[in-house]
Copies of this chain bind each other. A is one copy, B any other.
Amino acid sequence: MKISTVKGTNDYLPKEAALRDYLMDEILKTYQSCGFQRIMTPVIEDIENLDKSEGGENLNLIFKVLKRGDKLEKALEAKNEKELCDMGLRYDLTLPLSRYYANNRDKLLSPFKCIQIDRVYRAERPQKGRLREFYQCDIDIIGTYSLTAEVELIATTAQALKNIGIGDFRVKINNRKLLKAILLKAGFQAEELDSVCISIDKLDKVGLDGVKEELNAKGFEAESINKLSEVLSTKPFTLEEAERLCPEEESVKEIRFILDSVKAFNGEFDVVYDITLIRGQGYYTGTVFEVESTKFRGAIAGGGRYDNLIGKFLNETVPAVGFSIGFERIFGILTDVGFQIPDRKKQIAVLYEEKDFIPAMEYARGLRENHNVAMYVKPKKTGKFIDKLQEQGCDGFYIYGQSGEIQFL
């Protein structure tokens, strides 16, 4: 039998698990303090729901669950690949939330402010920092077009990042509607925009020349590419520039409201308009945002407004906006810097001779009011064992019938 985990998944050692628990707990408590309520949804989801969800390239990364029994036999006979599966593992928490809201809306407040901290799955090609099973920590506000929702999500996410010790970051904002307006002004056609955005999204990796090259290869008009290139090489391309280009565009005001509001109550982090911010999901309709660590490379949170996704489950449009902390990235950063959990309960080991088991149990029970207490039969090589205990994060030990008091390490 195979002792390693399946590709792209991890076993977590006790110290790692403790850090993960600490982080999830801190994030949850912060989200709750800001008035969001936790909900829980299943990991497995109807395959059709997943397939029709406009999840962008994530749709190619769905783990599918084989049918069972008679249904499987029929599908095998029909030799139809599509027929083989009836469920899949969710690739994000936004699609399940949309289904959840449609399923339970009568029992929920409106606007509904909710938390999901849970696992998602993507059949990515495994590589450093890219897992097939990983956690996301989402907050969403459902049922309002008000931009105060965006502001609350930014404030809450920022507070959570601060509380877990990821202090240095900035928030980048863009708006799908404004980006589209600018691209149309540059001369691209409406049906070309998705493809253009996919190329712009690679700016960080391939540079402006790389983006231009790709757009050329895709056969777009040279004039449009040049106009876009002009925009992308304006640094900084401010919201005022965007407004000058598209003076009639309402979404400029949306971005401005968000920037101004966040600045009004916050003196701790930067919040900026960034025309190059894309975010891959097809379901975003307005604001998109991302948090970038200024100390560590890359995005640590992201999200956006998806006003049409829930409507796919209902006969009416329900606006929604969400923000997700990239848990694994945060966990990776804090592990790399050797982060220590603050105010951790003390771990004490009680060592005993086998004959003293019952009284040693009684003694340990008393200690448990204030400490986490593990019992071990006293091994012959006690010193070596205690070294190993310390290595595992043990804070002190007590040898039953021998120690006067706990020996702290």
Contacts and interface: CB of A to CB of B under 8 A. Distances in A.
A298 to B, nearest CB: 24
Contact of A354 (B81, B148, B392): B148
A248 B148 CA distance: 77
A107 B13 contact: yes
A14 interface: yes
A76 B313 CA distance: 33
Contacts of A18: 37-38
Given A148-B357, A358-B264, A375-B152, A13 B1 contact: no
B11 A358 contact: no
Number of copies: 2
Interface in A362-382: 362, 364-365, 368, 371-377
A14 B34 contact: no
Interface stretch (A61-69, A168-176, A219-227, A321-329): A61-69
Contact of A39 (B12, B99, B107, B113): B12
Contacts of A32: 345, 372
Nearest to A116: B17
Nearest to A28: B21
Contact of A1 (B38, B48, B148): B48
A16 B389 CA distance: 38
A65 B68 contact: no
Contacts of A17: 37-40
A110 B18 CA distance: 19
Contacts of A377: 144, 146, 148
Interface in A1-60: 1-6, 9-14, 16-18, 20-21, 28, 32-46, 48-49, 52
Main secondary structure, interface of A, reads mixed
Interface in A71-121: 72, 76, 79, 81, 84-87, 89, 99-100, 102-104, 107-109, 111, 113-114, 119, 121
Contacts of A103: 3-5, 11
B1 A34 contact: no
A160 B222 CA distance: 69
Given A1-B312, A345-B32, A11 B100 contact: yes
A206 interface: no
A37 B14 contact: yes
A11 B40 contact: yes
Contact of A38 (B21, B108, B264): B21
Given A6-B42, A345-B32, A374-B36, A265 B148 contact: no
A151 interface: yes
Contact of A46 (B2, B45, B368): B2
Interface in A133-192: 133, 144, 146, 148, 151-152, 155
A288 interface: no
A63 B63 contact: no
Contacts of A35: 347, 349, 364, 372-375
B81 A41 contact: no
Q: Choose among A9, A28, A354 the residue with the greatest number of B CB atoms under 10 Å from its CB.
A: A9
Contacts of A4: 103
A46 B18 CA distance: 26
12 contacts: A1-B46, A2-B99, A4-B103, A5-B103, A6-B86, A6-B87, A10-B40, A11-B40, A14-B39, A35-B349, A63-B65, A66-B85
Q: Sorted from nearest, which 5 A-B pairs have the closest CB atoms?
A: A35-B374, A9-B42, A14-B37, A12-B40, A3-B102
